[in-house]
Amino acid sequence: MQQEKRASWSGQMAFVLAAAASAIGLGNLWRFPYLAARYGGGTFIFIYIALVVTLGFTLMLTEIAIGRKTRQSQLTAYPQLRKGWGFLGLFGTIIPMLIVPYYCVIGGWILYYFKAYFQMAFTGADLMGAGAINSAEFFNSFISSSFAPFGYGMLFVFACAAIIVLGVKNGIERSNMVMMPILFVMAIAISIYVICMPGSADGLKYYLIPNMDCLRAADGSFSFALLGKTLLGATGQMFYSLSLAMGIMITYGSYLKKSESIEKSVRRIEICDTFIALIAGLMIIPVVYIFAIKTGTPVKEAMNAGPGLMCITLPKVFASLGAIGNWVGMAFFLLVIFAAATSAISLYEACVAAICDVMKIDRKAATFFTGTLILFLSVFSALGYGAWAHIKVFGMQFLDFFDFITNSVLMPCVALVTCVFVGWILKPKAIIEECEADGTKMKSRAFYSFMVRYLAPALMAALLVSEVCRALGIGGWSI
C-alpha cells in the first residue's frame, strides 16, 4: 500500500535534474577549482573524469537501484533488503542530518554576500574598502557576530523547508526546473566573460593543460606517493561532488518510475555534474590567476581552498575588475545561492523522507520536525566562530568538526560497507535486475560486478584512511 502512495518524478528528465542539482553544490564551485589548480590542472581533470565514469558510476547506480527496488528512503531500505543491516540506513540518515545544519549556515554566508554585492552594485557603497582590501575583516566580522550567521542560516533553512513541504513534484521538481537552467546559463555566461578577459589565456593553460610536475618528487623523478595523493584527492572530490553515501540518491531513486533507465540516468547526472565542475574552474581559475599575476601573489596561495577563496580572495578579484566587478560579484553569488540551495534541499529531503517512512507521518509534520532539529544543530556551527569560538572538538571549530566527521569518516565508511553489502551479501545480481526492470539489458553488468566487489571497496578504504590522516595531520598527509 505504501509503494502505491509513494511520490514519483514526472519523468527521467525531472529525476536527472533533481539528482544533478543535488550533486552540483558548493564543493563544485570552490573545491574542484582549488584541487585542479593544486594537482596539475588537466592531470587532475583527466583522473577526476576517469573516476566519475567508473567509481562514481558504480556507487551512484547502486544507491539509486536500492531506492527504487525498495521504494524507501535509506533508513528503511537496508533492513527491507536484508535483516540485520538497518544500521547502514541509520548511519546514512545521520550523515545528512549533521550536514544540513552547517550547510545551511554556509548558505546563510552566501546570502549575506549576495546582499552585500547587491547593495554595492546598486548604491555604490564600498563595504570592503578600496580594492576589497578589507575583505578578510568583512568576512571575519560577519561569521564572528553574535546573531547574524544564525539569522541568515535560518532564512536559508526556511526557504528550503518551503520547497520541501510542497512535495516531490510541486516543490523539489518545480524548483529545480527553475533554478537549474538559470544556474547553467549564469555559469556559462560568467565563464565566457572570464575567458574573454585580457590575460585569461595563461590562466586557461594553467587550468586545462596537464602538468606532470604534480607527480614529480623534488629530484624530478616520478613519485608514486604524489600520484596516490592526486588520485585520492580526485576520489574525494568525486565522492562529495556526486552526493554519494548521504541517503540522497537512495531517496531520489525511490521516487523513480520502473519504466526509467537507471543506467542512462546515472550517465546523464555525471555529465551535468562534471560539466558544472569544469565550468566552475573556467569561472574561477583564469580570473584568480590574472589577479595573482597583477598583485604578485603566488598562484597556489591565491587559489586557497574553502571559504578563504570564495569569501576573501574572490571579492578582491571582483574589485580588481573595476566598476563591473560588483555586478559580476552579485551574479556569481546568486549562482552560488542556487547551487547551495539545490544541494541543501536534497539533503533536507533525505531526512524528511526517512522520518516519513519510519514514523509514518505526513510530509508537513516531518518537514517541521526535521527543520526544528536542523535549526537547533545549526546554532553550534553559526556561533562556532563567534560566541562559542573558544569551544573546540578535537581541536576543531563546530562547523569544521561536523564537516570532518561526516565527509571524512561517516561517508567513506557508509560507502565502503554498502559495497561490501551489495557485493558479497545481497550480490550484484539484485542491483543488476533492478537496473533491467525497465526492459533493457544493463550494458555494464560485468564491469559493475567487478567494481562493487573489488575496486570500489579498496578505493573507499584508501579514501577513509587518507582523509582521517589528512584531518588529524598524521604522517604529513595532505589533500
Rounded-to-integer distance, Cα 80 and Cα 72, Å: 9
What are the tens digits of pLDDT across the range 276-301? 999 999 999 999 899 889 888 887 77
What are the tens digits of pLDDT across the range 365-391? 999 999 999 999 999 999 999 999 999
* Domain annotation covers residue 369: yes
Which residue segment(s) compose the domain that 199 sits in?
A: 2-472
**Is 438 within 8 Å of 258 (Cβ atoms)?**
yes
Q: How many domains does the chain have?
A: 1
Residues of the chain where predicted confidence (pLDDT) is lower than 70: 1-4, 304-307, 475-479
| pLDDT at residue 342, rounded to an integer | 95
Signed CA dihedral, 325, 127, 31, 298: sign only = positive
* Domain annotation covers residue 336: yes
C-alpha cell at 65: 537501484
Model confidence, pTM = 0.94
Q: Give backbone dihedrals phi and psi of 179, rounded to 5 degrees, phi first.
A: -70, -40
Q: Give backbone dihedrals phi and psi of 41, rounded to 5 degrees, phi first.
A: 55, -110
* Domain annotation covers residue 479: no
**Is 403 within 8 Å of 100 (Cβ atoms)?**
no
Q: In 254-362, which residue ranges form alpha helices assigned H by DSSP?
A: 262-295, 299-302, 307, 314-319, 325-359
* Domain annotation covers residue 478: no
Buried/exposed 16-38: b ≥16 CB within 10 Å, e otherwise: bbbbbbbbbbbbbbbbbbbbbbb
* Domain annotation covers residue 112: yes
* Domain annotation covers residue 224: yes
| pLDDT at residue 3, rounded to an integer | 40
| pLDDT at residue 304, rounded to an integer | 67
| pLDDT at residue 2, rounded to an integer | 39
**Is 291 within 8 Å of 325 (Cβ atoms)?**
no
**The CATH number of the domain where 263 resides is what?**
1.20.1740
Q: Identify the DSSP state of 405.
A: I
* Domain annotation covers residue 334: yes
Q: Which of 346, 334, 330, 314 is CA-nearest to residue 164?
A: 346
In sequence order, which residues have a C-beta less than 8 Å from that of residue 75 and are 6 or more positions away? 86, 89, 90, 92, 93, 247, 354, 357, 358
* Domain annotation covers residue 160: yes
C-alpha cell at 347: 539533503
Rounded-to-integer distance, Cα 452 and Cα 435, Å: 15
Half-sphere exposure of 282 (CA within 13 A, CB side): 17
